Structure 1
Amino acid sequence: MSESQGDTSAVDAAELAAWQREDRAFTVLDVRDRDEFESWHVDAPEAVQIPHQQFIAARAKGTTDELVPDGPEPILVVCGVGEASAEVAEQLRDEDIDARNLAGGMEAWAREYEAVEVPFTDGTVLQYQRPSSGCLGYLLVSGDEAAVVDPLRAFADRYADDAADHGATVRYAVDTHVHADHVSGVRAVADATDAEIVLPEGVDERGIEFDPDRLLADGEELAVGDAGLETLALPGHTPEGVGFRIADGEHGDLLLAGDTLFLDAVARPDLAVEEGDVEAMARQLHGSLSELLDLPDETRIAPGHVATATSADDEGRYVATIGALRDRHDLLSRSESEFVEEVTGSLPERPSNDAQIIRINLGAEAVDDGTAFDLELGPNNCAAG
């Protein structure tokens, strides 16, 4: 029995993810140190940091009520592994506050990984969601074959199990680009399943130091059972970036867009090039987005990341049609010069440890699983605009 199952005052990571998808009102009270909170914390309508030591002192003085956050209840108390936060949550409940503890803390939050099904006529498409970072990945199953797109190394064993549940084996492990925010799982999946590693052909110009089994050029299709992944070159976030279109006459084609177009933002153009080349990449990004806007309105975009503020649909999926995104994104109607100016002028902080993560994903550096997991902890910073 998990901590959250045995204690109704505890919230596990899956329930927290549901709170976020449902846009539930709650307040996060993070009792870690300030630098830990500022580098990465659970997103919520209200999120405050008060260190555990202040609550220890307040208990002794009888002044806990002075530390109660002003935001909406319930108050979700968070720490690294769920122990200090459990003490604080109990202390707040003694003050008649609706306080819950995040079971397992940020460690458990980082390991939360969920799958929801996206409608697809000729098989099954699963959208994987890592709410702690906003990373999305996909599993396409058709017949007895499967392909995983943008897998995470931390969850490499998950994809084979899910494919097996649908009567298939993973034949391909595919990345849309060289990721800067998380450690790619393509090699780990290949090691676990004998799947072929498939990457966009431009990775050779990024300095890749291992040999993929297959490189895909613009327009090439990767057959998966009775379905296929049609490669669309989408440079702009990275020079080699691609998307994959899955034909579906009933529900509308599904485009796995990688990090090119998100549901509430667009890609940032600066993570794969030198500072002097960022504007040129932004112009390429504008061109790629223009090509996407020329697709039929019913084409469904399935992005590679999602922001916490983005609302899921009624089934918990992060998918929207080109037609809907065209109406939603003011940035998509900008001229090239306006687009470049706005995107390059609104760049957030870079993802945590991005340079080292890129080296790992290129095969230029090797780290163990624990180090890889720790390196990628942090917020989603792959979007601009």
Structure 2
Amino acid sequence: MASSTLPEIHTIFEPNTSTWQYIVADPATKDAAIIDSVLDYAIATATITTSSADNLLDVAKRNNYNIKYILETHAHADHLTASKYLQQTLLRAGNPKPQICIGKRIEQVQHTFATKYRIDEAEYIGVFDKLLDDGEHLPLGKLEIEVLHLPGHTPDHVGYVIGSNVFTGDSLFLPDVGSARCDFPGGDATALFNSMTKLLSLPPDYRMYSGHDYPPNQGDGRSEPRAFATVAEQREKNKHVHDGVTKDEFVQWRMQRDATLGEPRLLHQALQFNIRAGQLPVKSEHGHRFFHVPLKVPEDAWIWGIETQG
């Protein structure tokens, strides 16, 4: 898997959603990929802004990078992707069109949530430029990107291996954070354990770059976010899947833990946006764009409500 060319890796933390964004480049050709970008969203005002995405573009410009790919590890449930904004901004600036890529099982996730949120097929079919096969290789200058299917958190989840670096998305967090939840549609704790086992079977010096970090900030815990840990560190210290933890132990704990968790703050907005690859919802006849947000009501809501017909 490793290449003799070492990539340049920029780790860029977005604190509002605790998301790690990455720019990975071949230092010789300056070809680069952006991984898991963030579009800023203020839930109180339902306003989208682009400061985080513009910062990614500034980093790329300062380093004279040619953005070849905009990669997603999965359909995120906790932040909005900036993929379409980045692509269109680069195009308007006269750059070649970068491909927006994601694992091929995104089609399953798109169908699930398009049905839930009543999104027309025209708004999500074909919005990704390339759906990636398991084990597929993408050229990045003198580097190569290998696609790893890492289901569990979501069924479409993939990671990206570039040299001795793996961008794991939400399939493996820092050792003192552990693992991601598996209670979204298509999530599976057993599959996640298998995915983490696949990652931890890589050489001990490989770096696992996480999709998020949530520093414990208590006792002797660190307070600053960290982007990666080595396979060796994960195997020794990951609090959920260190060496010696069995599949049955992990699955039982993960399922019990997930049953106590509330919804991510941006769950509904993020899923509706991200299955569109960051493309804006179509305008209504009045010029507005909408997200559907489910309303939770008391069991006796029928007293003043009208039941759905048909």
Q: Which has the larger radius of gyration?
A: 1
What residue number does 1:234 align with?
A: 150
Q: How does 1:200-211 map to 2 (within 5 A)?
A: 200-207=103-110, 209-211=124-126
The equivalent position to 1:260 in structure 2, one of 147, 152, 171, is 171
Shift in alpha-carbon separation, 1:133–1:357, aligned structure 2, 3 A: closer
**What corresponds to 1:272 in structure 2?**
185
Among candidates 37, 48, 56, match of residue 151 of structure 1: 37
Alignment of 1:338 with 2:285, yes or no, is no
Which consecutive unaligned segments of at least 5 residues does structure 1 have?
A: 1-119, 248-252, 376-385
Q: Any idea what SS the aligned residue of 1:140 has?
A: strand
| Partner in structure 1 of residue 269 of structure 2 | 356
CA RMSD, 1 decimal: 2.5
Percentage of matched positions with identical amino acids: 28
Matched-pair contact (CA < 8 Å) for 1:157–1:192: no
Partners of 2:178 and 2:239 within 8 A in 1: no
Q: Is the 8 A contact 1:221 1:228 kept in 2?
A: yes
Q: 1:186 to 1:290 in 2, by over 3 A?
A: same
Question: Which has the higher relative contact order, 1 or 2, with Cα contacts under 8 A spaced 6 or more apart?
Answer: 2
Larger relative helix fraction = 1
1:285 aligns with 2:192: yes
Q: Tell me if 1:221 matches 2:134.
A: no
Q: Aligned partners of 2:184, 2:280: CA distance in 1, in Å?
A: 18
Partner of 1:96: none
Task: Indicate the residue corresponding to 1:366 in structure 2.
Answer: 281
**Once the two structures are superposed, what CA deviation does each residue of 1:26-84 show, in whole Å capped at 9, x if it has no partner?**
xxxxxxxxxxxxxxxxxxxxxxxxxxxxxxxxxxxxxxxxxxxxxxxxxxxxxxxxxxx
TM-score, normalisation: structure 1: 0.58
TM alignment of 1:242-257, pairs within 5 A? 242-247=158-163, 253-257=164-168
- SS of 1:306's partner is coil
- What is the TM-score of this pair, normalised by structure 2? 0.71
Map 1:1-385 → 2, pairs under 5 A? 122-142=6-26, 143-154=29-40, 155-193=52-90, 194-207=97-110, 209-211=124-126, 212-247=128-163, 253-263=164-174, 264-273=177-186, 281-309=188-216, 311=222, 317-332=226-241, 333-347=244-258, 348-363=261-276, 366=281
CA contact (8 A) 1:235 1:285 kept: yes
Q: Per-residue deviation at 1:213?
A: 1.1
Deviations 1:167-213 (A, max 9, x none): 21212111000000000111111111132111111101112614211
| Equivalent residue, structure 1, for 2:301 | none
1:304 and 1:226 mapped to 2: Cα distance? 25
User: For structure 2, which runs of at least 5 residues remain unmatched after alignment?
Assistant: 41-51, 91-96, 112-123, 284-288, 294-310
Aligned mates of 1:122, 1:337 — CA distance in 2: 38
Count of residues paired in the alignment: 239
**Is 2:69–2:100's contact at 8 Å kept on the other side of the alignment?**
yes
